A = this chain, B = another copy of it.
Amino acid sequence: MLAEIITIGDEILIGQIVDTNSAWMGTVLNEHGIKVHQITSVSDNREHILTALKEASNRVDIILITGGLGPTRDDITKHTICEYFNVKLRFDESVLADVTALFKRFGRDVTPINRKQAEIPENCTPLHNKNGTAPGMWFEESGKIYASMPGVPFEMKALMTDEVIPRLKKKFTLPVIIHKNVLTQGIGESVLSELISDWETSLAKEEIKLAYLPSSSMVRLRLSISGSDEKTMQEKIARKIEELKKIAGQHIFGYDDQTLEGIVGDLLKQRKQKVSTAESCTGGYIAHRITSVAGSSDYFTGAIISYSYDVKTTELGVSEEILKTHGAVSQPVVEQMAKAVRIKMKTDYSIAASGIAGPGGGTLDKPVGTVWIAIATPERVFSKCFQFGGNRERNIIVTGLTALNMLRKEILASE
């Protein structure tokens, strides 16, 4: 079953608003076995909306429209829909009752401009919007479904969940679609794809589709399968993931919505252990990632951000001698940082990072993107040098993810 999403409103086209609605709708539709064929963002313009509706109706069975339903002048969706279906507006008492009730909740009377929200196209079934004055609208015409919803995210979401999805499920027999995401870190898309090439080829037999979704130092592999027998499909996916783990297991850190900071946090919580950080080039980013997880105070005690030479010496006991001989971006410095912060913050583990984030500070020996990362544990300290070579923002992010993954592996290896 194919759907298209049409979003109406200049604010998306001029970049004033990021279209998060469509992503949300895409996810929900997909979970119910409805494939989104296309997302089209058009302006608050009569002809443009008419063209988009016409084109979509030639391609798909379900057309979902958001935006352009407010009472103000630039919102012309309702009139244009009337023109599209060649119908008139009619006054709907049930919608007026909804609007009146909503205003009453805020202790206000319905204004004339809001009374107009109760005017809806003759051929539509109004969908009750409990969060706003603009009703959702449901149309069945020439075998196609059209649903129009306001663009305000929480109004749209409630209408989709309470009205549109249940009606679509009643109307159509929908297939089951299963997605599973495998999360990797520290291996590039192309190297990974060569490594798992044979495995990837074998997916076709099982009718599993694969997508590579790369972001800073991470590649997400998305496996998708559709059909009707959910149990068999789940088993197929699980079997293929087991195979993948044998080939590329050392690069996999998690699945689906997991994050490195969440996984590390869970490991520490389970083991009743704690972590701290000593950061130079990341300037607090690793601590920020760790503490972005709710409940992180259970396992994170603190950090020393040592941006200057002086703070490295006074707070983390890095000797001036070593700084002079090896420079701040070096193995002895980063290992001393990790050792010192672990003791100071009384934690089981610590992470330290020192590098050249850029754009300045690079040398021939140590170009921008050179980063040393160290992990200290109750037993040992070890470190590794990386060459990330990106821009400042990316170097900070990649250093953070790489460091968290090093810690994750070390915790697991210490069992």
Contact = CB atoms under 8 A, between A and B. Distances in A.
Interface of A: 10-20, 22-30, 35-43, 48, 52, 55, 70-74, 105-107, 111, 113-114, 131, 133, 152, 154, 179, 189-191, 193-194, 200, 210-215, 222, 277, 279, 282-288, 290-292, 294-297, 300-308, 310-311, 314-315, 344-346, 358-360, 367, 369, 387, 389-394, 396
B346 A310 contact: yes
A22 B41 contact: yes
Copies of this chain held together in the complex = 2
A286 B285 CA distance: 9
Contacts of A284: 277, 279, 284-288, 291, 303, 305
A276 to B, nearest CB: 8
Nearest to A279: B284
A396 B292 CA distance: 8
Contact of A70 (B70, B212, B300): B212
Contact of A311 (B179, B212, B301): B301
A210 B11 CA distance: 11
Contacts of A11: 211, 213, 222
Interface majority SS (helix, strand, loop, mixed), chain A: mixed
Given A43-B37, A304-B304, A290 B283 contact: yes
B294 A315 contact: no
16 contacts: A11-B211, A13-B35, A15-B24, A18-B19, A40-B40, A105-B387, A106-B387, A113-B193, A152-B215, A154-B391, A277-B284, A277-B305, A283-B296, A288-B396, A296-B307, A303-B304
A26 to B, nearest CB: 3
B311 A307 contact: no
B304 A392 contact: no
B43 A200 contact: no
B301 A291 contact: no
A95 to B, nearest CB: 15
Contact of A310 (B277, B294, B301, B369): B301
Given A283-B300, A288-B284, A300-B283, A111 B392 contact: no
Nearest to A133: B190
